[in-house]
Amino acid sequence: MKKRIALLMMAAALAVSATACGSGGDTSDGGDKKGEAKTSEVANKDKPLVWFNRQPSNSSTGELDKTALNFNKDTYYVGFDANQGAELQGTMVKDYIEANIDKIDRNGDGVIGYVLAIGDIGHNDSIARTRGVRKALGTAVEKDGNINSDPIGTNTDGSAKAVKDGELEVNGKKYVVRELASQEMKNSAGSTWDAATAGNSIGTWSSSFGDQIDVVASNNDGMGMSMFNAWSKDNKVPTFGYDANSDAVAAIAEGYGGTISQHADVQAYLTLRVLRNALDGVDIDTGIGTEDEAGNVLSDDVYVYREEERSYYALNVAVTADNYQDFTDSTKIYEPVSNQLDKEKNPTKKVWLNIYNAADNFLSSTYQPLLQNYDKLLNLEVEYIGGDGQTESNITNRLGNPGQYDAFAINMVKTDNAASYTSLLNQ
Ligand code: BGC
């Protein structure tokens, strides 16, 4: 049996296609010596599954992948409200410009120029943030009934088609707002949301039109901080990100313009909590909208659940110079859901969980540490797998024996690729 599992694992590791080892494999008997963390007899395809951070969806159209979201009756997605957050980010940038109008236009040409770092052109959250900034600053152009979120390359002369020049009137004076440049920050190996690429880009942009850049906007803090450290801090150019990672929040004291908390503390809890509830066979709302026996409960100002999308969305909060002191530790668990569950009533279960890119700033410095704080409280023994951010197979190769686990939490490289994972559970 051992040999057989080893062979199966090897086959999975070598296989180009996830289905290479055929369907005949009997599910593991799950025999576990540790007693408590015994795996179930449940078929892999019926085990609880949560997608998180990257919602199964079509990367060109954004359409949700309902098949993946309804893989079985215990399947959910946990993320955050991308549109509400994007709107907050755009408004935060606009408010900052208005409040600092006397000094924002660095070269005094009447044009407020900004550059934008785009995370992943096929990721709904990234698209929403690009749209949010363009909408608030008046630079948005419609395409197929929605705001165009395409990168523009450089646009110092205002001729780009995917954006237009905006206009802002403050204290009776009119200013032009121009997106001077934007780019998807993808490195040569294929990693998106790539901080190093953003740091290089601001170097290129600033050396050719640096004095025109009055604001730096970024789809996330990883890229935002990279640009801040490489250029904008020294040049006193306000830089705005997203995620409220601890380093970005601390940088607000040094001139970082602001960020958005996507309430990762609530998301990380929900990610594991829905699995816990499904494993316990209790109402899915337990410890979420309905207080559990330990006293854990979330109020409805921090999340929404949309049944038709099988999705939980945390709500976002703007973090600026006014309130950043409350957000200095992004890995701190959320107080209303910080109570330990009873080991007898909620016995230890095993969860397989992957982070699509071990080098992603948000996931590695904020989300995973939060998960690691909650897993103990929820009596879940979680195996954390860190991907390379480039290929799905780098991760699926490490799901060689799903029979060893009671539940799965999945963070895909690409939002189209849910089937790479579910096909392994269907075998
Ligand atoms: C975060 C990004 C992160 C991405 C990964 C987003 O929600 O804001 O920082 O890189 O998720 O998928």
Question: Which pLDDT tens digit goes with each residue over 387-418?
Answer: 999 999 999 999 999 999 999 999 999 999 99
Question: What value does the mean pLDDT of the chain take?
Answer: 92
Please tell me the distance from the alpha carbon of residue 394 to that of residue 22, in angstroms, as a whole number: 20
Kindly give the number of the ligand 1 atom that is closest to the alpha carbon of 362. 9
Task: Pick the more confident residue, 255 or 33.
Answer: 255
pTM of this structure: 0.89
Say yes or no to pLDDT of 15 above 50.
Answer: no
For ligand 1, pick from 77, 243, 263, 412 the residue to mutate: most ligand atoms within 8 Å of CB. Answer: 243
Nearest CA to ligand 1 atom 5: 53
What is the rounded average pLDDT of the residues 43-50?
98
Three-state secondary structure string covering 276-328? HHHHHCCCCCECCCECCCCCCCCCCCCEEEEHHHCEEEECCEEECCCCHHHHC
Tell me, which fold does domain 83-261 have in CATH? Rossmann fold (3.40.50)
Residue 134 CA to ligand 1 centre (angstroms): 19
Residue 220 CA to ligand 1 centre (angstroms): 7
For ligand 1, pick from 57, 121, 193 the residue to mutate: most ligand atoms within 8 Å of CB. Answer: 193
For ligand 1, pick from 363, 365, 411 the residue to mutate: most ligand atoms within 8 Å of CB. Answer: 363
Per the CB < 8 A criterion, the answer to whether 271 and 260 are in contact is no
What is the rounded average pLDDT of the residues 298-318?
98
Kindly give the number of the ligand 1 atom that is closest to the alpha carbon of 363. 3
Predicted confidence band at 427 (pLDDT cuts at 50, 70, 90)? confident
Q: What is the pLDDT of residues 192-248, one digit of tens each?
A: 999 999 999 999 999 999 999 999 999 999 999 999 999 999 999 999 999 999 999
What is the rounded average pLDDT of the residues 284-313?
98
Say yes or no to pLDDT of 13 above 80.
Answer: no
Helix axes 264-280, 368-377, angle to 10 degrees: 40
Q: What is the pLDDT of residues 147-202, one digit of tens each?
A: 999 999 999 999 999 999 999 999 999 999 999 999 999 999 999 999 999 999 99
Amino acid identity, position 181: A
Count Cβ atoms below 10 Å from residue 61 Cβ, excluding itself.
9
Say yes or no to pLDDT of 384 above 50.
Answer: yes
Residue 247 CA to ligand 1 centre (angstroms): 15
Residue 367 CA to ligand 1 centre (angstroms): 10
> What tokens were used for 218?
């970024």
Question: Per-domain residue ranges for the chain?
Answer: 23-79+264-425, 83-261
Residue 40's pLDDT is: 60
Residue 421's pLDDT is: 98
Residue 319 CA to ligand 1 centre (angstroms): 17
Q: What is the pLDDT of residues 349-378, one digit of tens each?
A: 999 999 999 999 999 999 999 999 999 999
Q: What is the pLDDT of residues 110-126, one digit of tens each?
A: 999 999 999 999 999 99
What is the rounded average pLDDT of the residues 264-273?
98
Nearest CA to ligand 1 atom 7: 53
Residue 18's pLDDT is: 37
Residue 12's pLDDT is: 46
Residue 41's pLDDT is: 85
Residue 38's pLDDT is: 57
Sole residue written with tokens 């306000």: 238
Pocket lined around ligand 1, Cβ cut-off 6 Å: 53-54, 119, 125, 193, 220, 222, 242-243, 360, 362-363
What is the rounded average pLDDT of the residues 45-61?
97
Please tell me the distance from the alpha carbon of residue 193 to that of residue 187, in angstroms, as a whole number: 9
Residue 29's pLDDT is: 40
Report strand pairing: 75-80 vs 311-314.
Answer: parallel
Kindly give the number of the ligand 1 atom that is closest to the alpha carbon of 357. 5
Kindly give the number of the ligand 1 atom that is closest to the alpha carbon of 193. 10
What is the rounded average pLDDT of the residues 123-143?
97
Residue 243 CA to ligand 1 centre (angstroms): 8
